[in-house]
Structure 1
Amino acid sequence: MLVQALYNVVDSIFVSNIVGESLTAGEDALTAVTLAFPMQNLMIALGSGTGVGINALLSRSLGEKKFDKADSAANMGVLLTFVNYLVFLIIGIFFAPAFIRTQTISAIISSYGATYLQIISCCSLGLFFQMTFERLLQSTGKTFYSMISQATGALINIIFDPLLIFGIGPFPALGIAGAAYATILGQFIAAMIGLLCNLKFNTEIHLSIKDITTPVFSTIKEIFYVGIPSILMMSIGSVMTYMINLILGMFSSTATAVFGVYFKLQSFFFMPVFGLNNGLIPVLAYNYGAKYKERINQALRFAVVLAVSIMLTGTLVFQIFPATLLGFFNSSSEMTAIGKPALRIISLSFPIAGLCIAMGSVFQAFSKGTYSLAVSVGRQLVVLIPAAWLLAQTGNLNLVWFAFPIAEIASLTISVILFKKLYKTTLATL
């Protein structure tokens, strides 16, 4: 996950150094990638949310010694991966340019964004299979191979980014298209490694073309019972970023670029916590199926302490070094002036977010995906977007950033209420 976070940052650093006819070509390209992010996040939401459903069902089935059901979960997961890709192939072909144009009136930014998003969407097969194969490995405790798959894909991306963006050596200078091609190349290689690791090392499950192409609707229903709330929860994140892009666009495209830079930088701290979450879900689900209450409590305590510690470190880094962090992205004086208070204000919410993520993993592992959905809706739709819009009416951009800590406090309140309810009705009875 740390390598993936490094890719997120390095990719944007290269994009911010794109040279074009305009003096602000790098910033325009960075803004374009930020405008494409809601759709990219939607892809990740569909793939990752489906993976959560696969993960929970497969791990629970193994814990209950229902091995045929575990195989069915794995094979139906692969089938659903094909379906997910077809959805975004259609979106990429027909809707990508229009989606970018809804967020900006700049012809240059629209052109950059449409080019980037069409490539990413139409070639997203590698992304979806990478996520599915990594989830299968995580479900059976093969996290080392999952790490190898993801790390290799991210490293390939980092290596090919400058080669394809700037045209180094025999490679053509493709600009922002090069960034997109480097991304999909890394995803395809990661997917291939994930497939090979599952076939060779994941002996707990058995994949076959016959089983993959024979739908088992009862299994698909169980996958989506847990997965759909997760998909919706992450999709709400796409709505949030889209709306925040629109709100920040009321001030300037530079404000939007700063938001994009923030998202890349925060991944250094959020990605490890999400990785912890991915590892925690099958552990909790397995021990829930096996009725090992003390192991559940131990795993949860460890996860909470580690998650909050990671996020507290992130807060300190953002508070102390905001100008240095922004400088990596070829920031103009305007971007630095906007970005310094933004990073400091938003990062105040990091420790609270770490605690909420840990509690969310409990909801998902115990098939209470609707609880996670309620927390996400409360945070992002009910609080964050309205708060950001209201604060934007003051004309003070710095106040808009306070919407993030406000929303995180609301998220924590809802999470604690639902966790107490879950503990009384489920954990206390084991």
Structure 2
Amino acid sequence: MKTQKKHVNDFGNDSVPGLVLRVSVPFMFAQFVNVMYSIVDRIYIGNIPAAGADSLAGAGVCAPIITLLSSFATLIGIGGSILFSMRLGQNDKKDAEKILGNCFSTLILFSAALTLIFLLSKGMLLHWFGASDVTYPYANTYLTIYTCGTFFALLSMGMNYFITAQGYPLLGMVTTLIGAILNIILDPLFIFVFHMDIAGAAVATVLAQLASCIFVLCVLYRKSMPVPLHLRRPDPVLVKRILALGFSPFLILATDSIIIIAMNAVLQYHGGPGYGDTLITCATIVQSYMMLITSPMLGITGGSQPLISFNYGANKPERIRKIVFCVLMLCIGFTSFMFLVSRFLPAAFAGIFTNNAEYIELSVWGIRAFTMMIIPLSLQYTFVDSLTALGMTGLSLFLSLFRKTTYFVATCLLPFAFTAASAFYAEPIADGIAALTSTTAFAIVYMKYLKGTGSLMEIGTGRGQAA
């Protein structure tokens, strides 16, 4: 037992600042590495001879569909890991093992269903999401191959949450590191050596996800894990609880797809046949840059969720206060650094994707517009994910949907009043308003439930959903 203690973080007793760093930073790095899947693909795709710009636009059209597919891994992974961590905080390993097995079997069923559904509907979806006659062939090729690997993507992403929840954040980071490194190696091989172009990028991504999936399952099946994985027949009542807890983060990610869809459609409509594809190509570059900010920040706040849920289960409100504060400071520090990078180095980032001067100039402007309010966005991410970890999914969902609704409305309305490119300002408008709203909401919750000696068991609907 002493040997195990050296390697497993004690969520209930270790010093909070050190614990947050040891858990959240690896998870943050894991999310950063994970986002490299799509960014590396886009970099290589954008540099395909002759067809680079159109291929990149096609990959951009696929982005919301891929995000939608990934959100189902979050639905099960976050929902299950929150409930799982609460049970560990209550020292109920038997129930925790049951939760882990149910999440595994549910992800398998979801993977099979989603693969079939998206393969049958991909043509219709791509036209809805902004594919033009020029970009459709590239988007269709990429999405068809990627969808065939849905099983590996969902299992590796969804089950990886349970590695971190058991006190092994570094192993969780290795999961995504394996996939990213393999993807970086295979991309140029399939795209340029085997001359598969955009199809090669998709094949490389699927093989990378396969490797990550194998690693995750091997880790969780080890008998040395505090709660090893065993396949269980889905329990409808338990699965319903898991889905209820995971619905908020799922909808948050799923609605990201709607925003990207709206952005692509608006840019295509207001930009016209020629300039519309140019705007979508630049929007793809800008959104790739934003992923370098939002994904690591989601890693920080998501990595802290097992800590909050564990201490919620153990009824330790003082530790929860400290965890939330440390996570907020970490997010503000990260976004402040990225804000400075956004002011001085966006041209270097855009130049990785294309050597077209027009695309680079427009992308630099777009990056600076998108990142105007990323520091206040730290408040939104920290407070919404903290409320989710406490089981207050109703409130966290409302705050997230409020931001997404503001973003959607601004995206649709701004081009009517100004130009097509003004849709890029929807991001900072939504981020600023959402930061004020989420801070106010969390302050009310903090004063009512967390300040003083009140029992956390009374928080919102958290206990009712988790019990």
Q: Normalising by structure 2, what TM-score?
A: 0.86
1:8 aligned residue (38, 48, 52): 38
Other structure's SS at 1:215 match: coil
Does the 8 Å CA contact 1:375/1:411 hold for their aligned counterparts? yes
Whether 2:407 is the aligned partner of 1:384: answer yes
Structure 1 residues 331 and 363, CA gap change in structure 2 (3 angstroms) = farther
CA deviation string 1:361-393 (max 9, x = no partner): 211111112222112211112x11211222101
1:73 aligned residue (74, 89, 99): 99
Whether 2:332 is the aligned partner of 1:313: answer no
Q: Which amino acid aligns with 1:336?
A: I
Does the 8 Å CA contact 2:222/2:228 hold for their aligned counterparts? no
1:204 aligned residue (215, 222, 226): 226
Does the 8 Å CA contact 1:284/1:299 hold for their aligned counterparts? yes
Other structure's SS at 1:28 match: helix
Other structure's SS at 1:163 match: helix
CA distance in 1, matches of 2:354, 2:123: 26
Other structure's SS at 2:371 match: helix
Q: Which amino acid aligns with 2:104?
A: V
Counterpart in 1 of 2:235? 216
Whether 2:191 is the aligned partner of 1:165: answer yes
Does the 8 Å CA contact 2:152/2:213 hold for their aligned counterparts? yes
CA distance in 2, matches of 1:13, 1:203: 38
CA deviation string 1:99-155 (max 9, x = no partner): 112244632310100111111112211111101221110111111111111101111
Other structure's SS at 2:373 match: helix
Does the 8 Å CA contact 1:266/1:314 hold for their aligned counterparts? no
Q: Which amino acid aligns with 1:30?
A: L
Does the 8 Å CA contact 2:58/2:131 hold for their aligned counterparts? no
Other structure's SS at 1:108 match: coil
1:304 aligned residue (311, 328, 348): 328
**RMSD (Å), alpha carbons:** 1.6
Counterpart in 1 of 2:144? 118
Counterpart in 1 of 2:438? 415
Does the 8 Å CA contact 2:89/2:314 hold for their aligned counterparts? yes
Counterpart in 1 of 2:82? 56
Other structure's SS at 1:402 match: helix
Deviation at 1:92, TM superposition (A): 3.1
- Alignment map for 1:273-284 (pairs within 5 Å): 273-284=297-308
CA deviation string 1:144-202 (max 9, x = no partner): 11111110111111110110111x2xxx2211111111111111100111111112266
- Alignment map for 1:131-210 (pairs within 5 Å): 131-166=157-192, 168=193, 172-200=194-222, 203-209=225-231
CA deviation string 1:195-245 (max 9, x = no partner): 111122662213223xx2x22222112111111122122111111111111
Deviation at 1:247, TM superposition (A): 0.9
CA deviation string 1:271-312 (max 9, x = no partner): 221111221000001111112222112211111011111111
Q: Identify the range of structure 1 (395-404 vs 131-140) with the bigger mean alpha-carbon deviation.
A: 395-404
Counterpart in 2 of 1:325? 349
Structure 1 residues 304 and 104, CA gap change in structure 2 (3 angstroms) = closer
Q: Which amino acid aligns with 1:177?
A: A
CA distance in 2, matches of 1:403, 1:93: 32
Structure 1 residues 244 and 348, CA gap change in structure 2 (3 angstroms) = same
Unaligned runs of 5+ residues in structure 2 are 1-29, 456-467
Counterpart in 1 of 2:120? 94
Q: Which amino acid aligns with 1:118?
A: T
Whether 2:53 is the aligned partner of 1:27: answer yes
CA distance in 2, matches of 1:72, 1:105: 43
Deviation at 1:313, TM superposition (A): 1.3
Does the 8 Å CA contact 1:140/1:202 hold for their aligned counterparts? no
Deviation at 1:398, TM superposition (A): 4.3
Deviation at 1:82, TM superposition (A): 1.0
Q: Normalising by structure 1, what TM-score?
A: 0.93
Does the 8 Å CA contact 1:137/1:202 hold for their aligned counterparts? no
Structure 1 residues 15 and 201, CA gap change in structure 2 (3 angstroms) = farther
Unaligned runs of 5+ residues in structure 1 are none
CA distance in 2, matches of 1:152, 1:184: 13
Counterpart in 2 of 1:375? 399
